[in-house]
Structure 1
Amino acid sequence: MEKVSNNVKFCTFVNILRTYSNEDVSLSTKEINHHMKERLGLTLDRRTIYSYIKDMRHMGLEVSDYNKEKEGYYLVDSYFKEYELKLLMDSVKSSKFITKKKTEELLEKISKLNCIYRGRIVKSDVLIEENSKSTNDKIYDHMEIIRNAIDINKKITFNYSDNQVDTSKINPIYMINDNDYYYLVGHKDNIDDIFYYRIDNMTDIKILEEYAETGGSNGTEH
């Protein structure tokens, strides 16, 4: 069997405590080694566990001393409280620009932000209103393309599904969130007006080789 480095062992140990423990759930040496065996095919002796906990504390991670009542160790919860996760989930559910599919994916990820045991009990009471959701599954890809264009100061082209107008050579300036939608703010060559485009209505976005031009003053929403 290939030898496992100490760095991999340590990182796996940290991940086990982070995933399976909190102030309510301690992990015994036996339970820690059960997870180590499953992940790496090895176990840790008590001296190594003490050493790893000491290293974690040096890194600023708060690990409990051995809890005699619960017979184990736990990583002090430095993440979200249940009500905080619930607020995040409710916000995602009520956001119009996030599609139903993406909403479900994000809710699953949010539920796992904390210890695995807490993730199971955090649920949102807000219903997903499919009619109020965006139907553009590529909005995050589009936002990434726009962000890249802004970062490298390049023009973009795209089609706007709201009116099927080909808006070529837009100089992107920034993106904003307004009334639960994301908008691209930009201007066209030789036109003073500033234009606002709802990103969930944009398709076929491409970054051009031409550098973006500065300008624009008056606001126009599409």
Structure 2
Amino acid sequence: MAKQSNQKLKLLYLWRILMERTDEEHPMTTAELISALEGYGVPAERKSIYADLEALELFGLDIVRNRRRGCYVGERPFQLAELKLLVDAVQSSRFITHRKSEELIKKVEGLASVHQARTLQRQVYVANRIKTMNESIYYNVDKVHSAISAGKKITFHYFEWTCEGKKRLRHDGKLYRISPWALTWDDENYYMIGFDSKRNSIRHYRVDKMQDISVTKENRDGQEHFECFDMAVYSKKMFGMFNGREETVRLRFANRLAGVVIDRFGRDIPMTRSGPEHFVINLQVAVSPQFLSWLFAFGADVTVLSPDSVIDQLRQQAQAVLGQYQQGAPVG
């Protein structure tokens, strides 16, 4: 009876053998396929193997045959180069823990042959990359997605880290009640974009700093704010996803920073020549300390032309930093 049951599974076992053990560099002959099937307790004859291969091809499996070398699976759902990109993305991602990275990569390896999978078992080293230790982010993302799909509000606690390395709840420990509308991955962190009814404004929250998330029965609101919402535009306005007063800022850059500006804001941003050595851009941006710090990084190669309020903020921040060092070296 067992042999008869295994015989019914013969086609599935053959599909598994081909997917797991063959690729362009590792074809299998008919004799090798018969031997592999015997390992599953499935006897087979040469003629039946030919018929089974034709059935699998008819089903859609790309089987490449060569009389001398044997046969192997050709096109797969993912090419090896694509799988390597996925593995690199998982390994270098800051918000995915080491343990979860290993689990995901193991699953990615299952999309290739065992021979190709060995080339995926490589370590990607990224300077100053710290993996998160918080695995709750996966469940947080799932709950937020569920609320978005259901069109419901969520409640949650939001925390920050103290200098002692401990969590401290914000908002005096009170629950946040927000209408979630989107999730975005920015600056190597997941953010939930939502609408805060009390503030009547769009807000964003780091998903890994949210806890005790609960999907409510209350319908979300803020639809009018998201009908024309553009996530790409929103992300470009924020630096490090920090909020600030939105301003149209006019900046003059040295020509050598054209690539930096394009990398940050895209190729569509208009850049106007300003003499032989500079160009000017206009930005709609949330002016925050992080934005000002970004400008500081370029020193004299960037100048804020307007508005005066941003120039004043930049001057005040420069004076505040300088003030720390005017009385001598800081005391540790």
TM-score between the two structures when normalised by the length of structure 2: 0.58
Contact between 1:155 and 1:212, CA under 8 Å: does it hold in 2?
yes
Of 187, 191, 194 in structure 2, the residue corresponding to residue 183 of structure 1 is: 191
Contact between 1:156 and 1:169, CA under 8 Å: does it hold in 2?
yes
Contact between 2:7 and 2:43, CA under 8 Å: does it hold in 1?
no
1:151 alignment partner, SS class:
helix
Ranges in structure 2 where 5+ consecutive residues have no aligned partner: 161-167, 227-233, 235-240, 244-332
1:132 alignment partner, SS class:
coil
- Asked if residue 197 in structure 1 is aligned to residue 205 in structure 2, the reply is yes
RMSD of aligned C-alpha atoms?
Answer: 2.8
Q: Percent identity?
A: 29
Using the TM superposition, give the Cα deviation of residue 95 of structure 1 relative to its aligned residue in structure 2, in angstroms: 1.3
Of 69, 77, 82 in structure 2, the residue corresponding to residue 84 of structure 1 is: 82
Residue 126 of structure 1 corresponds to 124
Contact between 1:93 and 1:128, CA under 8 Å: does it hold in 2?
no
Using the TM superposition, give the Cα deviation of residue 144 of structure 1 relative to its aligned residue in structure 2, in angstroms: 1.3
Residue 59 of structure 1 corresponds to 59
Of 91, 94, 98 in structure 2, the residue corresponding to residue 93 of structure 1 is: 91
- Aligned pairs for 1:1-222 within 5 A: 1-2=1-2, 3-4=4-5, 8-39=9-40, 41-65=41-65, 67-70=66-69, 72-127=70-125, 132-162=130-160, 163-165=168-170, 166-215=174-223, 217=225
Q: Larger relative contact order (C-alpha < 8 A, sep ≥ 6)?
A: 1
Higher-Rg structure is: 2
Using the TM superposition, give the Cα deviation of residue 82 of structure 1 relative to its aligned residue in structure 2, in angstroms: 4.2
Separation in structure 2 between the aligned mates of residue 214 and residue 77 of structure 1, nearest angstrom:
46
Distance 1:221 1:155, change over 3 A: farther
TM-score between the two structures when normalised by the length of structure 1: 0.83
Ranges in structure 1 where 5+ consecutive residues have no aligned partner: none
- The number of residues matched between the two structures is 219
